[in-house]
Amino acid sequence: MSLNLPAGVQINAPLHPRFDEIFTYDALALVAKLHRAFEGRRQELLKARVARQARIDAGELPDFLPETQSIREGEWKIAPLPKALERRRTEITGPVERKMIINAYNSGADSYMTDFEDSNSPNWYNQIQGQVNLFDAIRREISYVNEVGKEYRLNDEIATLQIRPRGWHLDEKHVLVDGQRVSGGIFDFGLVFFHNAKEQIARGAGPFYYLPKMESHLEARLWNDIFVMAQNECGIPQGTIKATVLVETILATFEMEEILYELRDHSAGLNAGRWDYIFSCIKKFKKNKDFCLANRGAITMEVPFMRSYALHLVKVCHKRGAPAMGGMSALIPIKGDPEANEKALAGIRHDKTRDANDGFDGGWVAHPGLVPIAHEEFVKVLGDRPNQWDKQRDEVFTAKDFLNFQPEQPITEAGVRNNINVGIHYLGSWLAGNGCVPIHNLMEDAATAEIARSQVWQWVVSPKGKLDDGRKVTAELVKAMIPEELSKVKAAVSAQGEDTATYDQAAGIFETMSLSADYPEFLTLPLYEAMD
Protein backbone atom coordinates (compact mmCIF):
# COMPACT_ATOMS: atom_id res chain seq x y z
CA MET A 1 0.00 0.00 0.00
CA SER A 2 1.53 3.32 -1.07
CA LEU A 3 0.42 6.81 -0.11
CA ASN A 4 0.66 10.20 -1.79
CA LEU A 5 1.92 12.28 1.13
CA PRO A 6 2.03 16.08 1.29
CA ALA A 7 5.49 17.65 1.43
CA GLY A 8 7.06 17.27 4.86
CA VAL A 9 4.68 14.53 6.08
CA GLN A 10 6.05 11.14 7.18
CA ILE A 11 4.18 8.09 8.43
CA ASN A 12 6.47 5.66 10.23
CA ALA A 13 4.11 2.76 10.90
CA PRO A 14 2.42 -0.14 9.11
CA LEU A 15 -0.55 0.53 6.82
CA HIS A 16 -3.30 -1.94 7.56
CA PRO A 17 -6.33 -2.49 5.30
CA ARG A 18 -8.35 0.70 4.70
CA PHE A 19 -5.80 2.95 6.41
CA ASP A 20 -5.24 4.52 2.97
CA GLU A 21 -8.86 5.71 3.08
CA ILE A 22 -7.97 7.77 6.14
CA PHE A 23 -4.52 8.91 4.98
CA THR A 24 -5.63 10.78 1.89
CA TYR A 25 -3.48 13.62 0.59
CA ASP A 26 -6.02 16.32 1.49
CA ALA A 27 -6.70 14.95 4.98
CA LEU A 28 -3.00 14.85 5.81
CA ALA A 29 -2.56 18.31 4.29
CA LEU A 30 -5.11 19.64 6.79
CA VAL A 31 -3.31 17.93 9.69
CA ALA A 32 0.01 19.37 8.48
CA LYS A 33 -1.43 22.88 8.15
CA LEU A 34 -2.90 22.75 11.66
CA HIS A 35 0.40 21.44 13.01
CA ARG A 36 2.46 24.18 11.37
CA ALA A 37 0.09 26.88 12.56
CA PHE A 38 -0.35 25.75 16.16
CA GLU A 39 2.40 23.37 17.32
CA GLY A 40 4.52 26.26 18.60
CA ARG A 41 1.67 27.45 20.81
CA ARG A 42 1.04 23.93 22.10
CA GLN A 43 4.66 23.63 23.17
CA GLU A 44 4.53 27.03 24.87
CA LEU A 45 1.43 25.96 26.80
CA LEU A 46 3.06 22.70 27.86
CA LYS A 47 6.07 24.69 29.11
CA ALA A 48 3.67 26.95 31.00
CA ARG A 49 2.26 23.86 32.73
CA VAL A 50 5.75 22.90 33.89
CA ALA A 51 6.43 26.41 35.18
CA ARG A 52 3.08 26.52 37.00
CA GLN A 53 3.79 23.15 38.62
CA ALA A 54 7.16 24.40 39.83
CA ARG A 55 5.46 27.35 41.53
CA ILE A 56 2.88 25.05 43.14
CA ASP A 57 5.66 22.73 44.31
CA ALA A 58 7.27 25.80 45.91
CA GLY A 59 4.07 26.58 47.82
CA GLU A 60 1.91 28.72 45.49
CA LEU A 61 -1.81 27.96 45.73
CA PRO A 62 -4.16 28.47 42.77
CA ASP A 63 -6.89 31.11 42.82
CA PHE A 64 -9.17 32.93 40.40
CA LEU A 65 -7.22 35.04 37.90
CA PRO A 66 -7.35 38.81 38.55
CA GLU A 67 -6.60 39.56 34.88
CA THR A 68 -9.81 37.83 33.75
CA GLN A 69 -12.15 39.28 36.35
CA SER A 70 -14.02 41.24 33.67
CA ILE A 71 -14.95 37.98 31.92
CA ARG A 72 -16.32 36.49 35.14
CA GLU A 73 -18.30 39.63 35.86
CA GLY A 74 -19.44 40.30 32.27
CA GLU A 75 -22.86 39.66 30.74
CA TRP A 76 -22.43 37.07 28.02
CA LYS A 77 -23.63 33.61 27.07
CA ILE A 78 -22.37 30.90 24.78
CA ALA A 79 -23.84 30.66 21.27
CA PRO A 80 -27.15 28.78 20.90
CA LEU A 81 -26.91 25.00 20.71
CA PRO A 82 -28.00 22.92 17.71
CA LYS A 83 -31.08 20.79 18.24
CA ALA A 84 -29.02 17.58 18.45
CA LEU A 85 -27.32 18.85 21.64
CA GLU A 86 -30.33 20.32 23.40
CA ARG A 87 -31.23 17.13 25.31
CA ARG A 88 -28.37 15.15 26.91
CA ARG A 89 -29.83 13.43 29.96
CA THR A 90 -27.78 10.30 29.44
CA GLU A 91 -24.39 10.06 27.76
CA ILE A 92 -22.52 6.79 27.32
CA THR A 93 -18.78 6.63 26.74
CA GLY A 94 -16.29 4.12 25.39
CA PRO A 95 -13.32 3.57 23.07
CA VAL A 96 -13.39 3.79 19.27
CA GLU A 97 -13.67 0.01 19.02
CA ARG A 98 -16.14 -1.37 16.47
CA LYS A 99 -18.42 -3.44 18.73
CA MET A 100 -18.40 -0.73 21.41
CA ILE A 101 -19.40 1.91 18.88
CA ILE A 102 -22.41 -0.15 17.74
CA ASN A 103 -23.52 -0.99 21.30
CA ALA A 104 -23.19 2.61 22.45
CA TYR A 105 -25.00 4.03 19.42
CA ASN A 106 -27.82 1.53 20.06
CA SER A 107 -27.90 1.97 23.85
CA GLY A 108 -30.82 4.40 24.03
CA ALA A 109 -28.58 7.14 25.41
CA ASP A 110 -29.13 10.68 24.16
CA SER A 111 -25.44 11.03 23.35
CA TYR A 112 -22.38 8.85 22.87
CA MET A 113 -18.86 10.12 23.54
CA THR A 114 -16.46 7.96 21.55
CA ASP A 115 -12.94 8.12 22.86
CA PHE A 116 -9.49 8.31 21.27
CA GLU A 117 -8.04 9.08 24.70
CA ASP A 118 -8.30 7.57 28.21
CA SER A 119 -10.47 4.52 27.48
CA ASN A 120 -8.52 3.67 24.33
CA SER A 121 -5.10 2.03 24.46
CA PRO A 122 -3.36 4.31 21.92
CA ASN A 123 -1.42 1.82 19.87
CA TRP A 124 -1.16 2.61 16.16
CA TYR A 125 -3.76 0.08 15.05
CA ASN A 126 -6.36 1.18 17.63
CA GLN A 127 -6.03 4.86 16.74
CA ILE A 128 -6.33 4.50 12.95
CA GLN A 129 -8.80 1.61 12.97
CA GLY A 130 -10.85 3.88 15.23
CA GLN A 131 -10.91 6.47 12.45
CA VAL A 132 -12.11 3.76 10.01
CA ASN A 133 -14.77 2.66 12.49
CA LEU A 134 -16.14 6.18 12.92
CA PHE A 135 -16.10 6.78 9.16
CA ASP A 136 -18.37 3.75 8.75
CA ALA A 137 -20.53 4.48 11.80
CA ILE A 138 -21.30 8.07 10.81
CA ARG A 139 -22.53 6.77 7.44
CA ARG A 140 -24.54 3.99 9.16
CA GLU A 141 -22.43 1.37 7.35
CA ILE A 142 -20.82 -0.21 10.38
CA SER A 143 -21.26 -3.87 11.37
CA TYR A 144 -19.52 -6.38 13.59
CA VAL A 145 -19.58 -10.18 13.71
CA ASN A 146 -18.41 -11.79 16.95
CA GLU A 147 -16.60 -15.10 17.44
CA VAL A 148 -19.83 -17.15 17.38
CA GLY A 149 -21.17 -15.49 14.25
CA LYS A 150 -23.58 -13.00 15.82
CA GLU A 151 -23.86 -9.82 13.75
CA TYR A 152 -24.28 -6.35 15.25
CA ARG A 153 -25.68 -3.40 13.28
CA LEU A 154 -27.08 0.05 14.06
CA ASN A 155 -30.68 0.61 15.09
CA ASP A 156 -32.88 3.25 13.49
CA GLU A 157 -32.66 5.42 16.60
CA ILE A 158 -29.07 6.15 17.58
CA ALA A 159 -27.30 8.40 20.06
CA THR A 160 -25.79 11.75 19.04
CA LEU A 161 -22.07 11.27 18.46
CA GLN A 162 -19.40 13.31 20.24
CA ILE A 163 -15.70 12.55 19.74
CA ARG A 164 -12.87 12.94 22.26
CA PRO A 165 -9.40 13.50 20.76
CA ARG A 166 -6.26 13.10 22.84
CA GLY A 167 -5.13 15.77 25.31
CA TRP A 168 -2.50 18.42 24.66
CA HIS A 169 0.24 16.45 26.44
CA LEU A 170 0.11 13.49 24.04
CA ASP A 171 1.94 13.14 20.71
CA GLU A 172 1.28 10.90 17.74
CA LYS A 173 4.78 9.50 17.47
CA HIS A 174 4.20 7.67 14.18
CA VAL A 175 3.40 10.82 12.16
CA LEU A 176 5.90 13.62 11.59
CA VAL A 177 5.49 16.98 9.93
CA ASP A 178 8.78 18.66 8.98
CA GLY A 179 10.52 16.15 11.25
CA GLN A 180 8.36 17.01 14.28
CA ARG A 181 5.83 14.76 15.96
CA VAL A 182 2.23 15.81 15.49
CA SER A 183 0.03 16.55 18.49
CA GLY A 184 -2.20 13.54 19.19
CA GLY A 185 -5.17 15.87 19.62
CA ILE A 186 -4.61 17.72 16.35
CA PHE A 187 -4.03 14.41 14.55
CA ASP A 188 -7.22 12.79 15.91
CA PHE A 189 -9.35 15.88 15.38
CA GLY A 190 -7.98 16.81 11.95
CA LEU A 191 -8.56 13.40 10.40
CA VAL A 192 -12.00 12.76 11.85
CA PHE A 193 -13.14 16.31 11.04
CA PHE A 194 -11.88 16.26 7.46
CA HIS A 195 -13.52 12.95 6.61
CA ASN A 196 -16.79 13.30 8.49
CA ALA A 197 -17.80 16.88 9.29
CA LYS A 198 -19.83 17.48 6.13
CA GLU A 199 -21.48 14.08 6.41
CA GLN A 200 -22.41 14.81 10.01
CA ILE A 201 -23.83 18.21 9.08
CA ALA A 202 -25.93 16.62 6.32
CA ARG A 203 -27.31 14.17 8.88
CA GLY A 204 -28.08 16.96 11.36
CA ALA A 205 -25.86 15.93 14.24
CA GLY A 206 -22.29 17.18 14.31
CA PRO A 207 -19.42 17.77 14.22
CA PHE A 208 -19.35 17.60 18.04
CA TYR A 209 -16.36 17.01 20.33
CA TYR A 210 -15.24 16.50 23.92
CA LEU A 211 -11.97 18.19 24.94
CA PRO A 212 -9.90 16.61 27.75
CA LYS A 213 -7.39 17.60 30.43
CA MET A 214 -7.08 21.32 29.83
CA GLU A 215 -5.48 23.35 32.60
CA SER A 216 -6.20 26.91 31.46
CA HIS A 217 -8.37 29.13 29.28
CA LEU A 218 -5.36 29.69 27.03
CA GLU A 219 -5.45 25.99 26.20
CA ALA A 220 -9.14 26.39 25.34
CA ARG A 221 -8.24 29.37 23.15
CA LEU A 222 -5.86 27.15 21.21
CA TRP A 223 -8.64 24.65 20.51
CA ASN A 224 -10.94 27.48 19.44
CA ASP A 225 -8.39 28.82 16.97
CA ILE A 226 -7.89 25.32 15.57
CA PHE A 227 -11.65 25.02 15.08
CA VAL A 228 -11.75 28.35 13.24
CA MET A 229 -8.98 27.35 10.85
CA ALA A 230 -10.39 23.86 10.25
CA GLN A 231 -13.84 25.23 9.42
CA ASN A 232 -12.32 27.76 7.03
CA GLU A 233 -10.17 25.14 5.32
CA CYS A 234 -13.11 22.77 4.80
CA GLY A 235 -15.66 25.41 3.82
CA ILE A 236 -17.86 24.92 6.88
CA PRO A 237 -19.63 27.88 8.56
CA GLN A 238 -17.98 29.24 11.68
CA GLY A 239 -19.62 28.01 14.88
CA THR A 240 -20.72 24.70 13.36
CA ILE A 241 -18.28 22.78 15.58
CA LYS A 242 -19.51 22.37 19.15
CA ALA A 243 -17.29 21.10 21.95
CA THR A 244 -17.84 20.16 25.58
CA VAL A 245 -14.85 20.64 27.88
CA LEU A 246 -14.06 18.04 30.51
CA VAL A 247 -13.16 19.92 33.67
CA GLU A 248 -10.82 17.25 35.00
CA THR A 249 -7.96 19.30 36.41
CA ILE A 250 -7.95 21.35 39.60
CA LEU A 251 -6.51 24.36 37.77
CA ALA A 252 -9.33 24.42 35.21
CA THR A 253 -11.82 24.78 38.07
CA PHE A 254 -10.54 28.31 38.66
CA GLU A 255 -11.01 29.16 34.96
CA MET A 256 -14.35 27.57 34.08
CA GLU A 257 -15.97 30.81 32.95
CA GLU A 258 -12.90 31.84 30.98
CA ILE A 259 -12.83 28.44 29.24
CA LEU A 260 -16.49 28.82 28.25
CA TYR A 261 -15.76 32.36 27.06
CA GLU A 262 -12.85 31.33 24.85
CA LEU A 263 -14.99 28.65 23.19
CA ARG A 264 -18.26 30.55 23.36
CA ASP A 265 -19.07 30.30 19.62
CA HIS A 266 -18.13 26.60 19.68
CA SER A 267 -19.09 25.65 23.24
CA ALA A 268 -21.44 22.83 24.24
CA GLY A 269 -20.82 23.25 27.96
CA LEU A 270 -18.69 21.60 30.65
CA ASN A 271 -18.47 18.12 32.14
CA ALA A 272 -17.36 17.16 35.65
CA GLY A 273 -14.65 14.60 34.82
CA ARG A 274 -14.30 13.27 38.32
CA TRP A 275 -11.66 10.53 38.08
CA ASP A 276 -8.99 12.55 36.32
CA TYR A 277 -9.90 15.44 38.62
CA ILE A 278 -8.88 13.43 41.68
CA PHE A 279 -5.65 12.43 39.90
CA SER A 280 -5.00 16.09 39.08
CA CYS A 281 -5.36 17.12 42.73
CA ILE A 282 -2.87 14.49 43.86
CA LYS A 283 -0.44 15.42 41.09
CA LYS A 284 -0.58 19.18 41.64
CA PHE A 285 -0.09 19.03 45.42
CA LYS A 286 2.19 16.01 45.60
CA LYS A 287 4.91 17.97 47.43
CA ASN A 288 2.57 19.74 49.84
CA LYS A 289 3.16 18.18 53.25
CA ASP A 290 -0.39 19.11 54.34
CA PHE A 291 -2.02 17.26 51.45
CA CYS A 292 -2.85 13.55 51.74
CA LEU A 293 -6.07 11.89 50.60
CA ALA A 294 -7.70 8.80 52.10
CA ASN A 295 -8.39 5.53 50.29
CA ARG A 296 -9.62 5.99 46.73
CA GLY A 297 -13.03 4.56 47.65
CA ALA A 298 -13.54 7.30 50.25
CA ILE A 299 -13.14 10.12 47.70
CA THR A 300 -16.73 10.42 46.53
CA MET A 301 -18.54 13.29 44.85
CA GLU A 302 -19.83 14.25 48.29
CA VAL A 303 -16.50 15.09 49.96
CA PRO A 304 -15.88 18.86 50.31
CA PHE A 305 -13.51 19.60 47.43
CA MET A 306 -15.44 17.43 44.96
CA ARG A 307 -18.81 18.80 46.05
CA SER A 308 -17.80 22.45 45.66
CA TYR A 309 -16.21 21.84 42.26
CA ALA A 310 -19.34 20.10 40.95
CA LEU A 311 -21.76 22.74 42.20
CA HIS A 312 -19.56 25.54 40.87
CA LEU A 313 -19.62 23.87 37.45
CA VAL A 314 -23.43 23.84 37.47
CA LYS A 315 -23.52 27.46 38.58
CA VAL A 316 -21.12 28.61 35.85
CA CYS A 317 -22.80 26.67 33.06
CA HIS A 318 -26.33 27.76 33.85
CA LYS A 319 -25.23 31.36 34.25
CA ARG A 320 -23.80 31.21 30.72
CA GLY A 321 -26.57 29.20 29.01
CA ALA A 322 -24.43 26.10 28.73
CA PRO A 323 -25.07 22.40 29.48
CA ALA A 324 -23.68 21.14 32.80
CA MET A 325 -22.87 17.45 32.42
CA GLY A 326 -22.33 15.13 35.35
CA GLY A 327 -19.38 12.77 35.39
CA MET A 328 -18.96 9.04 35.06
CA SER A 329 -20.47 6.40 37.28
CA ALA A 330 -17.96 3.57 36.94
CA LEU A 331 -20.33 0.96 38.37
CA ILE A 332 -21.50 -1.69 35.91
CA PRO A 333 -24.11 -4.48 36.05
CA ILE A 334 -22.94 -7.65 37.82
CA LYS A 335 -24.00 -10.93 36.23
CA GLY A 336 -24.72 -13.97 38.37
CA ASP A 337 -24.95 -12.10 41.70
CA PRO A 338 -28.38 -10.48 42.13
CA GLU A 339 -27.53 -8.96 45.51
CA ALA A 340 -24.31 -7.34 44.30
CA ASN A 341 -26.03 -6.24 41.11
CA GLU A 342 -28.81 -4.52 43.03
CA LYS A 343 -26.22 -2.75 45.17
CA ALA A 344 -24.45 -1.50 42.02
CA LEU A 345 -27.70 -0.28 40.48
CA ALA A 346 -28.57 1.50 43.72
CA GLY A 347 -25.20 3.25 43.54
CA ILE A 348 -25.99 4.46 40.02
CA ARG A 349 -29.40 5.72 41.12
CA HIS A 350 -27.88 7.59 44.05
CA ASP A 351 -25.24 9.20 41.83
CA LYS A 352 -27.69 10.34 39.15
CA THR A 353 -30.34 11.44 41.65
CA ARG A 354 -27.80 13.70 43.37
CA ASP A 355 -26.57 15.16 40.07
CA ALA A 356 -30.08 15.82 38.76
CA ASN A 357 -31.15 17.50 41.98
CA ASP A 358 -27.97 19.59 42.03
CA GLY A 359 -28.83 21.00 38.61
CA PHE A 360 -26.83 18.89 36.16
CA ASP A 361 -28.54 18.55 32.79
CA GLY A 362 -27.36 14.97 32.26
CA GLY A 363 -24.68 12.49 33.21
CA TRP A 364 -22.38 9.71 32.03
CA VAL A 365 -22.62 5.93 32.28
CA ALA A 366 -20.13 3.29 31.15
CA HIS A 367 -22.48 0.45 30.23
CA PRO A 368 -25.60 0.23 28.00
CA GLY A 369 -27.47 -1.59 30.75
CA LEU A 370 -27.31 1.53 32.93
CA VAL A 371 -28.81 3.97 30.44
CA PRO A 372 -32.47 3.40 31.51
CA ILE A 373 -31.66 3.93 35.19
CA ALA A 374 -29.74 7.15 34.59
CA HIS A 375 -32.41 8.40 32.21
CA GLU A 376 -35.16 7.71 34.73
CA GLU A 377 -33.47 9.69 37.50
CA PHE A 378 -32.97 12.76 35.30
CA VAL A 379 -36.53 12.58 33.97
CA LYS A 380 -37.83 12.63 37.56
CA VAL A 381 -36.26 16.07 37.98
CA LEU A 382 -36.35 17.56 34.48
CA GLY A 383 -39.65 16.15 33.25
CA ASP A 384 -39.92 16.97 29.56
CA ARG A 385 -37.56 19.97 29.75
CA PRO A 386 -34.37 19.61 27.69
CA ASN A 387 -32.31 21.12 30.53
CA GLN A 388 -32.68 22.92 33.84
CA TRP A 389 -30.88 26.16 33.11
CA ASP A 390 -33.62 27.88 35.10
CA LYS A 391 -31.96 26.40 38.19
CA GLN A 392 -29.46 29.15 38.95
CA ARG A 393 -27.22 28.34 41.90
CA ASP A 394 -26.26 31.29 44.10
CA GLU A 395 -23.41 29.87 46.19
CA VAL A 396 -20.16 31.81 46.19
CA PHE A 397 -17.21 29.43 46.05
CA THR A 398 -13.70 30.49 46.94
CA ALA A 399 -10.28 28.90 46.53
CA LYS A 400 -10.61 27.60 50.09
CA ASP A 401 -13.62 25.51 49.05
CA PHE A 402 -11.84 23.94 46.08
CA LEU A 403 -8.72 23.23 48.16
CA ASN A 404 -10.49 21.68 51.17
CA PHE A 405 -8.96 18.25 50.60
CA GLN A 406 -10.81 15.90 52.93
CA PRO A 407 -10.93 13.14 54.03
CA GLU A 408 -7.33 12.29 54.92
CA GLN A 409 -8.31 9.01 56.58
CA PRO A 410 -8.77 6.12 56.47
CA ILE A 411 -5.74 4.79 54.64
CA THR A 412 -5.87 1.02 55.04
CA GLU A 413 -3.83 -1.96 53.98
CA ALA A 414 -6.81 -3.04 51.89
CA GLY A 415 -6.80 0.40 50.24
CA VAL A 416 -3.10 0.17 49.37
CA ARG A 417 -3.56 -3.35 48.04
CA ASN A 418 -6.58 -2.32 45.98
CA ASN A 419 -4.58 0.45 44.31
CA ILE A 420 -1.76 -1.96 43.51
CA ASN A 421 -4.14 -4.63 42.27
CA VAL A 422 -6.22 -2.34 40.09
CA GLY A 423 -3.15 -0.52 38.78
CA ILE A 424 -1.44 -3.72 37.67
CA HIS A 425 -4.66 -5.15 36.21
CA TYR A 426 -5.38 -2.03 34.20
CA LEU A 427 -1.82 -1.60 32.95
CA GLY A 428 -1.65 -5.22 31.87
CA SER A 429 -4.81 -4.81 29.81
CA TRP A 430 -3.63 -1.47 28.42
CA LEU A 431 -0.35 -2.98 27.27
CA ALA A 432 -2.34 -5.74 25.53
CA GLY A 433 -4.34 -3.11 23.62
CA ASN A 434 -7.45 -2.71 25.78
CA GLY A 435 -7.97 0.66 27.45
CA CYS A 436 -11.49 0.13 28.85
CA VAL A 437 -11.38 -2.65 31.45
CA PRO A 438 -13.95 -4.07 33.90
CA ILE A 439 -12.13 -4.57 37.22
CA HIS A 440 -13.87 -5.53 40.49
CA ASN A 441 -17.25 -4.63 39.00
CA LEU A 442 -16.15 -1.14 37.91
CA MET A 443 -15.40 0.03 34.37
CA GLU A 444 -11.93 1.53 34.55
CA ASP A 445 -9.86 3.67 32.20
CA ALA A 446 -6.43 5.32 32.36
CA ALA A 447 -7.52 7.74 35.08
CA THR A 448 -7.91 4.79 37.46
CA ALA A 449 -4.33 3.68 37.01
CA GLU A 450 -3.19 7.29 37.42
CA ILE A 451 -5.01 7.65 40.74
CA ALA A 452 -3.83 4.25 41.95
CA ARG A 453 -0.12 4.80 41.36
CA SER A 454 -0.30 8.47 42.46
CA GLN A 455 -1.89 7.63 45.78
CA VAL A 456 0.68 4.94 46.49
CA TRP A 457 3.48 7.37 45.59
CA GLN A 458 2.07 10.05 47.87
CA TRP A 459 1.39 7.76 50.80
CA VAL A 460 5.05 6.73 50.67
CA VAL A 461 6.45 10.28 50.56
CA SER A 462 3.91 12.06 52.80
CA PRO A 463 4.34 12.06 56.59
CA LYS A 464 0.55 11.63 56.71
CA GLY A 465 0.74 8.39 54.73
CA LYS A 466 0.01 6.11 57.65
CA LEU A 467 -2.29 3.11 57.78
CA ASP A 468 -5.17 3.05 60.23
CA ASP A 469 -3.19 0.55 62.31
CA GLY A 470 -0.33 3.05 62.72
CA ARG A 471 2.13 1.61 60.19
CA LYS A 472 3.80 4.04 57.79
CA VAL A 473 3.32 3.27 54.10
CA THR A 474 6.86 2.67 52.85
CA ALA A 475 8.52 1.57 49.64
CA GLU A 476 9.40 -1.73 51.33
CA LEU A 477 5.76 -2.34 52.28
CA VAL A 478 4.61 -1.62 48.71
CA LYS A 479 7.34 -3.79 47.17
CA ALA A 480 6.25 -6.70 49.37
CA MET A 481 2.62 -6.33 48.30
CA ILE A 482 3.23 -6.03 44.54
CA PRO A 483 4.08 -9.72 43.84
CA GLU A 484 1.18 -10.82 46.04
CA GLU A 485 -1.30 -8.63 44.15
CA LEU A 486 0.23 -9.58 40.81
CA SER A 487 -0.48 -13.22 41.62
CA LYS A 488 -4.13 -12.38 42.37
CA VAL A 489 -4.46 -10.38 39.15
CA LYS A 490 -3.00 -13.15 37.01
CA ALA A 491 -5.31 -15.69 38.64
CA ALA A 492 -8.34 -13.51 37.93
CA VAL A 493 -7.29 -12.88 34.33
CA SER A 494 -6.60 -16.57 33.74
CA ALA A 495 -10.01 -17.46 35.15
CA GLN A 496 -11.51 -15.30 32.42
CA GLY A 497 -9.58 -17.25 29.80
CA GLU A 498 -7.32 -14.29 28.96
CA ASP A 499 -3.58 -14.17 28.33
CA THR A 500 -1.43 -13.01 31.26
CA ALA A 501 1.67 -12.25 29.17
CA THR A 502 1.70 -8.49 29.83
CA TYR A 503 1.09 -8.52 33.58
CA ASP A 504 4.63 -9.08 34.84
CA GLN A 505 5.67 -6.07 32.79
CA ALA A 506 2.70 -4.15 34.18
CA ALA A 507 3.76 -4.92 37.75
CA GLY A 508 7.29 -3.68 37.03
CA ILE A 509 5.93 -0.47 35.54
CA PHE A 510 3.59 0.07 38.48
CA GLU A 511 6.46 -0.34 40.93
CA THR A 512 8.68 2.07 39.02
CA MET A 513 5.96 4.69 38.59
CA SER A 514 4.70 4.55 42.17
CA LEU A 515 8.09 4.46 43.91
CA SER A 516 10.37 6.60 41.74
CA ALA A 517 12.02 9.56 43.46
CA ASP A 518 10.75 11.99 40.81
CA TYR A 519 7.01 11.74 40.26
CA PRO A 520 6.23 11.02 36.56
CA GLU A 521 3.53 13.47 35.45
CA PHE A 522 1.59 11.05 33.26
CA LEU A 523 1.75 7.28 33.39
CA THR A 524 0.76 7.05 29.73
CA LEU A 525 3.72 9.03 28.39
CA PRO A 526 6.53 6.51 29.07
CA LEU A 527 4.15 3.63 28.35
CA TYR A 528 3.29 5.08 24.95
CA GLU A 529 6.97 5.36 24.06
CA ALA A 530 7.38 1.63 24.66
CA MET A 531 4.28 0.77 22.63
CA ASP A 532 4.16 -0.16 18.94
Q: Are 366 and 328 in contact (CB under 8 A)?
A: yes
Respond yes or no: is residue 164 known to be catalytic: yes
SS3 assignment, position 215: coil
- Phi then psi for 325, rounded to 5 degrees? -105, 130
Burial of 298 (0-12, 13-18, 19+ CB in 10 A): middle
Q: Are 222 and 59 in contact (CB under 8 A)?
A: no
Q: Which of 136, 188, 355, 445 is catalytic?
A: 445
How many CB atoms neighbour CB 442 within 10 A? 15
168/363 Cα distance (integer angstroms): 25
Respond yes or no: is residue 384 known to be catalytic: no
CA triplet 93, 112, 245: central angle to 5 degrees? 75
DSSP string, 20-40: HHHS-HHHHHHHHHHHHHHHH
CA distances to 106, 293, 295, 415, 417 from 409, rounded to whole Å, are: 42, 7, 7, 11, 16
Q: Does 483 sit behind a cis peptide bond, omega within 30 degrees of 0 on the bond before it?
A: no
256/63 Cα distance (integer angstroms): 12
CA triplet 179, 184, 190: central angle to 5 degrees? 95
Q: Are 124 and 172 in contact (CB under 8 A)?
A: no
SS3 assignment, position 123: coil
Q: Which of 42, 98, 164, 453 is catalytic?
A: 164
- Phi then psi for 440, rounded to 5 degrees? 50, 45
Catalytic (active-site) positions: 164, 445
